[in-house]
Amino acid sequence: MGYIDTLSRDTRRVLQAQALLTLLMASGFGLARGLPEALAALYGGAITIFITGWLARRVRQAGQTGSPAAGLVVIYSSAVARYAAVIVLVGAGIGLLKLSPLPLLSAFAVTQFGFLASLQSPGGVARPGR
């Protein structure tokens, strides 16, 4: 199995874990506080899922560049754009859509732990002990 295949499999695993965490957070907020809070949690988790997909796409593009320097430019420019996108999306959720900040930010933070799914995988990129 090549690098791209491993990256795709690990990306799917991370996205699935993040989707599950998003649904769990939204369910928890929905049961405890109602539908508006559940929607805010869904939005926060969706931001993480979007950013993860973006990261995977850019890493794949960086691997297909002609030189390591060009790959680094792709990675670093993508990082800056992703951070800006997070700020804009969170700001839009809280400011424009008037979503509750606590569930939005909580789900955003918790779904970041979906990256641990790639650490648990056989053949994963960053397994401990290797």
34: left (phi over 0), alpha (psi -120 to 50) or beta: left
Give the tens place of pLDDT for each residue, 11-62: 889 999 999 999 999 999 999 999 999 999 999 999 999 999 999 898 888 8
What pTM, to 2 d.p., does this model score?
0.84
Instruction: Give dist(CA 8, CA 84) in Å, integer.
Output: 25
Check: CB of residue 48 under 8 Å from CB of residue 86. no
CA angle 64, 17, 92 (to 5 degrees): 80
Task: Please name the residue that has the structure tokens 């648990």.
Answer: 120
Q: How far apart are CA 85 and CA 51, in angstroms?
A: 8
Residue with tokens 């955003």: 108
> What residues contact residue 114 under an 8 Å CB cut-off, 6+ apart?
14, 15, 17, 18, 20, 21, 48, 52
Give the gyration radius of the chain's Cα atoms: 16
Each residue's pLDDT tens digit, 105-119 = 999 999 999 988 777
